[in-house]
Amino acid sequence: MSYERYSMLQVGIRDRIATLTLNRPQVKNAVNPELHDELSRIFSDIDRDPDVDVVVLTGAGGAFSAGGDLDWLQSLQGDPVATARSIQNDRRIQNSLLDMEKPIIAKVVGPAVGLGCSLALFCDFVYATPESRFADPHVAVGLVAGDGGAVIWPQLIGYARARRYLLTGDPIFAPEAAQIGLITECVAADSIDETVEAMARRLAAGATHAVKWTKASINAGLKATANAVIDKAAGLENLTMLMQDHGLALAAMRKRERPVFVGR
């Protein structure tokens, strides 16, 4: 399978392991419209690739992903057609990750924020360096956590802890994230490549169909829960993207100030 049509994502394949790299390092791999669109297609494409058994997802340039690109978010403000298109892609991304049968490993160095956080947490294994932080700060910018956070955080760490982070937007660093089960393991920076490579090779050397279909069986229950959440969360996020509070938050971010919300 050819991946030449992807420009924001790099795909390298070796020994039946695909390394998928978010490639906007100049902005900490923040998600712009092009990257967002590519993310809505790539997981289905890789799952169909006969030359790939395992996937490693990572980010270029010392960051996993800083979340939504501010310029893009501001361009969406007040445009119901554009926001609806964005939300549709969010739903595709979540569903394609849940439907993906091949195991996927997130290698997180640096921030994994917003959609970047959801991308990591939807993976089957998440390895992160100690300084890496995970955050879903949608509420901090006046939005509903509709691109995956409302689905995956409660399933990983329980509803009480998920509320603690989703209703505040506070970050959690890798050591604590590993301790409470949000991620698989916190790994020293000088050994994370080796750790991820070892797990990828172990999975690739396993009984391919047994591994894939065990994952599919695990995800069957998660998908049932996700189906009850994704459409509601996405629809409500779309509403909040059109509200004044979101616009105020984006303007405050430009000025590096704390937003003052008005409840509209």
Average pLDDT, the chain: 96
Return the pLDDT at 77: 84
Instruction: State the pLDDT at residue 78.
Output: 82
How many helices (DSSP H) and strands (DSSP E) are in the chain? 10, 9
Lowest mean pLDDT among 35-44, 70-79, 100-109, 208-217: 70-79
pLDDT-derived band at 89, boundaries 50, 70, 90: very high
In the chain, domain spans: 9-204
State residue 1's pLDDT score.
83
pTM assigned to the model: 0.95
Q: Which amino acid is at 146?
A: G
Secondary structure (DSSP) of 83-140:
HHHHHHHHHHHHHHHHH--S-EEEEE-SEEETHHHHHHHTSSEEEE-TT-EEE--GGG
The highest-level CATH class for domain 9-204 is alpha beta
